[in-house]
Amino acid sequence: MLQWALDALLGLGLLWLAWCALMSPNLLKAIVLFVAFGLLMALAWVRLDAPDIALAEAAIGAGLTGALLLAALARLRFAYADEETVGSPAQEEAKVRFPQWLPAVPLLLVVAGLGYVVLSLPPYATGLSTEVTANLESSGVSNPVTAVLLNFRGYDTLLELVVLLVALLGVWSLDGLALGRETAPGPVLDTLSRFLTPVFILVAAYLLWVGAHAPGGAFQAGSVLGAAGVLLLLAGWRFRAGLTELPLRLVLVAGPGAFVIVALVTMLMEGQLLEYSPEQASILILFLETTATFSIGATLAALFFGGRPQDDKEHT
Amino acid sequence: MQTLYLALALFLLVNLGAGMWRIFRGPTAADRMLSAQLFGTTAVAVLLLLAQTKENTALLDVALVFALLAAVTAVAFVRRAWTDQEVDHDSE
């Protein structure tokens, strides 16, 4: 009964928050609702016995995305402060040309397709968990989620890293909009960032290490590391000019790069892409996860920063 | 003991309902953000309770990440979205 009430409350709260976030005309309110939605979503994942996803949701959904959206909103406000009068007539015109219900058509098609797929699933399926459990011995780790992400289906993770990198390239190629004012951080924020940054780094290292046998891993550790970068950026800390060029780029591509090299080497040695021999699997996975953590952290912090770092030198 | 923990978790979730109302009504941006911070703190407490009922220590890590990243969201809000003379209107 209690469990049922807990789940019902979570589900209703999620639906209500999602609806309010979508319908809110006030963007800041929508962002706060989205952050609250992420927190409840993580609790829902815990109730569904998926602590791995709960950890990812806590780190990315509730934590970093909120900060990213807030920074985007600040830039929007700064941009609209100049262009409000110029921008609005063009928007009015666009509204006349495209009826508002038009986006609903492809959306309905997607919903219909998804509905068909869900309905055509077999009512009961064991999935691949028995095979994963049977092969866990040879994967090099004892956490089945890490085994799947880094060993059995390593190429998925490789492509996810590339997606993150492409996202950053997209932001950089858009040539970021400079923030208007950046006041001095003040003693409280300064002290907070000095205290918290080592804790963030420690927690990131812990999550990376614990991923081998419990929920954790490169993405969670990387986003905690990225959060440390965001905190430092917010506290007014900037890279020295020499570090933003090649060294930063090397860190950004280290994760996907290491993955590609390992993939090629294993293909030459074992004949299959990313097929590790059981003896080396453990150390290879740790190596890949460590480089991925640094890359993900640097990428997320760079995404938060916005435009290419060297472009910002004059503004900060 | 399990029932007690679950009942406490339920009580905290009901408290979040009050927080949701505050996010919805505002009136200022700071009200909404503080309410989201309340969500974070309460979620940490719920996670600790659930970790006890399920005897799953991984949930403690989730709570740790929650608590750490809530600070970043708050700092991002203050540094990026908050202005001193905040007039926040829903009809924006």
pLDDT digit string, tens, across residues A17-38: 888 888 888 888 888 888 888 8
Residue A76's contacts (CB-CB under 8 Å, 6 or more residues apart) are A27
Q: Which among B13, B35, B76 has the least Cβ separation from residue A67?
A: B76
**B59: contact with A, CB 8 A cutoff:** yes
B38 CB-side CA count, 13 A = 19
Testing the interface with B: which of A46, A206, A220 to mutate, by most B Cβ within 10 A?
A: A46
CB pairs under 8 A between A and B: 174
Residue B52 lies in a domain: yes
Distance in Å, alpha carbon of B34 to nearest chain A alpha carbon: 9
Which two structure tokens, joined as six digits, stand for B25?
């009504």
- Spatial CA neighbour of A1 closest among B46, B5, B6: B6
Residue B8's contacts (CB-CB under 8 Å, 6 or more residues apart) are B49
Q: Is the peptide bond before B27 cis (omega within 30 degrees of 0)?
A: yes
Residue B88 lies in a domain: no
* Mean per-residue pLDDT, A241-245: 71
pLDDT of residue A207: 87
Could you tell me how many residues make up chain B? 92
pLDDT of residue A112: 95
Which two structure tokens, joined as six digits, stand for B13?
């979730």
pLDDT of residue A316: 37
pLDDT of residue A123: 77
* Mean per-residue pLDDT, A252-279: 81
pLDDT of residue A177: 62
- Higher local confidence (pLDDT), B84 or A111: A111
| Number of structural domains chain B divides into | 1
Checking if the pLDDT of B10 tops 60, the result is: yes
* Mean per-residue pLDDT, A195-201: 90
DSSP letters, A5-39, are HHHHHHHHHHHHHHHHHHH-SSHHHHHHHHHHHHH
pLDDT in tens, A160-181: 889 989 988 888 887 666 665 5
Cα gap A232→A184, rounded to integer Å: 13
pLDDT of residue A202: 92
* Mean per-residue pLDDT, A185-206: 87
* Mean per-residue pLDDT, A270-290: 78
Checking if the pLDDT of A5 tops 80, the result is: yes
pLDDT of residue A82: 60
pLDDT of residue A156: 84
pLDDT of residue A27: 84
pLDDT of residue A85: 45
pLDDT of residue A87: 43
Cα gap A275→A277, rounded to integer Å: 7
Residues of chain A with pLDDT > 70, as a percent, come to 87
pLDDT of residue A109: 94
Confidence of residue A313 (pLDDT cuts 50, 70, 90): very low
pLDDT in tens, B33-90: 888 888 888 889 988 988 888 887 888 888 888 888 888 888 888 887 776 554 444 4
Checking if the pLDDT of B92 tops 50, the result is: no
- Report chain B residues whose CB lies below 8 A from the CB of A199: 68
Q: Which among B13, B20, B70 has the least Cβ separation from residue A16?
A: B20
- The three-class DSSP label of residue A315 is coil
Residue B91 lies in a domain: no
* Mean per-residue pLDDT, B15-22: 84
Start-to-end Cα distance in chain B: 49
Testing the interface with A: which of B65, B75, B83 to mutate, by most A Cβ within 10 A?
A: B65
Residue A292's contacts (CB-CB under 8 Å, 6 or more residues apart) are A157, A161, A218, A219, A222, A255, A258, A259
Taking every pair of C-alpha atoms in chain B, what is the biggest distance, in angstroms? 49
Note down the domain range covering B25: 2-81
Residue B89 lies in a domain: no
Cα gap A147→A139, rounded to integer Å: 6
Residue B6 lies in a domain: yes
Contact B90 A42 (CB under 8 A): no
Lowest mean pLDDT among A84-93, A192-201, B18-27: A84-93
pLDDT of residue A86: 43
Residue B66 lies in a domain: yes
Confidence of residue B6 (pLDDT cuts 50, 70, 90): confident
Cα gap A73→A50, rounded to integer Å: 32
Contact B13 A67 (CB under 8 A): no
The kind and range of the H/E element at A189 are helix A186-210
Helices B29-54 & B58-76, crossing angle to 10 degrees? 170
Checking if the pLDDT of A265 tops 90, the result is: no
Q: What average pLDDT is seen over chain A?
A: 80
pLDDT in tens, A80-106: 766 554 444 445 555 556 677 888 899
Residue A20's contacts (CB-CB under 8 Å, 6 or more residues apart) are A33, B23, B24
Confidence of residue A111 (pLDDT cuts 50, 70, 90): very high
| Residue A100 neighbours by CB distance under 10 Å | 7
pLDDT of residue A252: 86
**pTM for this predicted structure:** 0.81
Q: Which among A9, A29, A203 has the least Cβ separation from residue B10?
A: A9
Residue A7's contacts (CB-CB under 8 Å, 6 or more residues apart) are A47
pLDDT of residue A182: 66
pLDDT of residue A88: 46
CA–centroid distance for A153 within its chain: 19
